[in-house]
């Protein structure tokens, strides 16, 4: 389904995203992936501050890398959102299954 590029590093990847007031908020990248038949790249992030193990607050963005610059784009199209959500859920299921096998 997806050309997965799992972020399985020892140290989490942290990015900073400005809020509506211009204050930078810290997010941990939990997964990056590409959807088949598309050049689009996606990342799933969770807020670092106030995050706990039970939190299910996950944000998805389409992104482009331009050298050291990272450009994030909100996913506003319902069809695109459905594809990203389905791919994310499939990858999580695969990860959960492989962790049970270990």
Model pLDDT, residue 6: 47
Q: Could you read off the pLDDT of 12-30 as tens digits, one per residue? A: 899 999 988 999 999 999 9
Side-chain-side CA neighbours of 46 within 13 Å: the count stands at 13
Spatial distance between the Cα atoms of 12 and 27, rounded to a whole number of angstroms? 10
Model pLDDT, residue 10: 66
Q: Could you read off the pLDDT of 38-93 as tens digits, one per residue? A: 789 999 999 998 655 556 788 999 999 988 889 999 999 999 999 999 998 998 88
What are the structural domain ranges in the chain?
A: 2-101
DSSP string, 8-63: --SSPEEEEEE-TTS-EEEEEEEEEEEETT---EEEEEEESTT--TT----EEEEE
The model carries a pTM of 0.74
Q: Which pLDDT band holds residue 7 (cuts at 50, 70, 90)?
A: very low
């Amino acid at each position: 389904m997806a050309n997965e590029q799992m972020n399985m590093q020892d140290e989490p990847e942290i990015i900073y995203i400005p809020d509506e007031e211009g204050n930078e908020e810290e997010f941990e990248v939990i997964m990056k992936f590409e959807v088949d038949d598309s050049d689009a790249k996606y990342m799933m992030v969770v807020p670092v501050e106030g995050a706990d193990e039970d939190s299910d607050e996950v944000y998805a963005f389409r992104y482009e890398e331009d050298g050291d610059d990272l450009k994030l784009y909100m996913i506003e199209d319902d069809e695109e959102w459905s594809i990203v959500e389905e791919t994310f859920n499939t990858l999580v299921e695969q990860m959960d299954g492989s962790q049970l096998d270990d």
